[in-house]
Amino acid sequence: MSSFASITSATAPLAVRVRPTSLDELAGQSAILRAGSPLRNLANPEFDSAASIVLYGPPGVGKTTIAQIIARRGNRRFAELSAITAGVKEVREVIEAARNEMHSFGIRTVLFLDEIHRFSKAQQDALLPAVENGWVILIAATTENPSFSIISPLLSRSLIVRLEALSDADIAALIARAVASPNGLAGLVTLEAEAGNAIVRLAQGDARRALTLLEAAALAKIASSDAEQLASGAAIAITLAEVQAAQEQAIVHYDKSGDQHYDVISAFIKSVRGSDADAAIHYLARMIEAGEDPRFIARRLMILAAEDVGLADPQALVLATATAQCVALIGMPEGRIPLAEATIYLALAPKSNTAYNAINAALDDVRTGLIPDVPAALRSSNYAGAAKLGNGKGYAYPHDDPRAVLEQRYLGDELLQRSYYRPKELGAEAALAERWPRLRAIIRAFRG
């Protein structure tokens, strides 16, 4: 079998073949791998730590690898479950086996549970006895914030370790090692600079994605090379064309149920609020490409229109509402166009949060008990006996005044000094900023 044939016939993916066997070989993560850290102690044969750990971070940063390295240390057994396929029954079977191993042979089990955020409360509860009694060292992996996805009793018994996405330099070094490694591509290929840069860019901090792209590009290059070239034994160069063939479209790093979801939508909202149309469109594209529900995006646009554009351009809310209706009617991919239109319009619109501030200030007063009686003149008089109570007495009908506004008490004494609506002189609200003080002066003239 030729050397190139050994690559094309490999039974395990490249990411598995070059997986690190020690924490020192792990790419990146220097902050959590310092001397004396919980991970170092768990992997150190001189320590008998049985602490359970929740590894929290994006895909492809080494969570599974860390679990396997810790399991290999000393007298331990490794078991792995995926929350996608395992139920309470499977969890209990693993725990029972771990308990027997511990009691009979003194062997502690390292249980790696991938995507624990997908486990129900009942499934997570099933893990508690094993963790409490030390039958297993639980290493749970999640791409979601554990505070929101893992039950409190399990969190309180575990250390939370956050892993970061790998830097471009980390990914580049990882690729170089995989190209040279005897277990990897064994130096049989080289990477042109453009090809390497493309893999780094497309990987988006995910080691597994980088190695998958590298392997696919290498296989594509070998397949397109002639027999004479392969027989020469000389290294063949992977070009940008092979990388593009292996990955025609970048997979956007965006977990719709995890932190990426919240980070990208947050960046989208803040870019629109900050009037950066280019940034807003970029984040809109990331959400669309990742398959985000367009109705969710449309709802966020309606909230933005009311909260951040507000009275500076009241048409913004009309447009955002029409966009939501349009997206619901036409669906995707055409729905991307009205979403883009509304995004750009809202980003470039004048901004005012005065309505948002006004209702929040009023709610604060109500919630703190500032709730004076409704003035008698404003109370309902449309029922028997209302007149005897004085309801409606003295009410002045504004339309009887040629200005359609007149002096009248609309609030109790405790609120007459309050000013909830404070207009900004921006966009369409500039007219309201000029009108409201005049109206208020007429209405509150009784105060002298």
14's CB contacts (< 8 A; 6+ apart) are 178, 184, 185, 211, 212, 214, 215
355's CB contacts (< 8 A; 6+ apart) are 306, 307, 310, 311, 421
With 90 as the cut, is the pLDDT of residue 260 above it?
A: no
Distance between CA atoms of 29 and 27, rounded to whole angstroms? Answer: 7
Distance between CA atoms of 138 and 52, rounded to whole angstroms? Answer: 5
Please give the pLDDT value at position 249: 47
Give Cα 120 distance to the centre of its chain.
20
Closest residue by Cα to residue 116 from 148, 156, 93: 148
Instruction: Give 31's pLDDT tier (boundaries 50, 70, 90).
Output: confident
Q: What tokens does 254 get?
A: 């965006």
Distance between CA atoms of 227 and 225, rounded to whole angstroms? Answer: 7
- 37-55 residue pLDDT tens: 877 877 776 666 667 888 8
Dihedral, 430, 324, 255, 167 alpha carbons, nearest 10: -40
> Above pLDDT 90, what percent of the chain?
20
Q: In this predicted structure, which of 133-142, 227-236, 365-374 has the lowest mean pLDDT? A: 227-236
Closest residue by Cα to residue 76 from 48, 54, 37: 48
Residue type, 128: L
> Around Cβ 400, how many Cβ atoms within 10 Å?
8
Q: What tokens does 376 get?
A: 């008698």
Return the CATH number of the domain spanning residue range 29-162: 3.40.50.300
In CATH terms, is domain 261-348 a member of 3.10.20.90? no
Whole-model pTM: value is 0.55
Residue extents of the structural domains in the chain: 29-162, 167-246, 261-348, 370-447
Check: CB of residue 59 under 8 Å from CB of residue 206: yes
Give Cα 205 distance to the centre of its chain.
15
How many CA atoms does the CB half-sphere of 439 hold within 13 Å? 12
Output the average pLDDT for the chain: 84
Return the CATH number of the domain spanning residue range 167-246: 1.10.8.60
Give Cα 307 distance to the centre of its chain.
22
Question: Are 261-348 and 370-447 in the same CATH fold?
Answer: no
Distance between CA atoms of 119 and 125, rounded to whole angstroms? Answer: 10
Which CATH number is correct for 370-447, 1.10.3470, 1.10.3710, 3.30.70, 1.20.120? 1.10.3710
Distance between CA atoms of 385 and 26, rounded to whole angstroms? Answer: 82
Residue 113 DSSP SS3? strand
Q: What tokens does 276 get?
A: 């950066």
218's CB contacts (< 8 A; 6+ apart) are 7, 185, 189, 238, 242
Cα–Cα separations (whole angstroms), residue 111 to 136, 154, 275, 421, 437: 6, 14, 48, 58, 68
Q: List the beta bridge partners of residue 160.
A: 54
Instruction: Give 342's pLDDT tier (boundaries 50, 70, 90).
Output: very high
- 92-114 residue pLDDT tens: 888 899 899 888 888 888 888 88
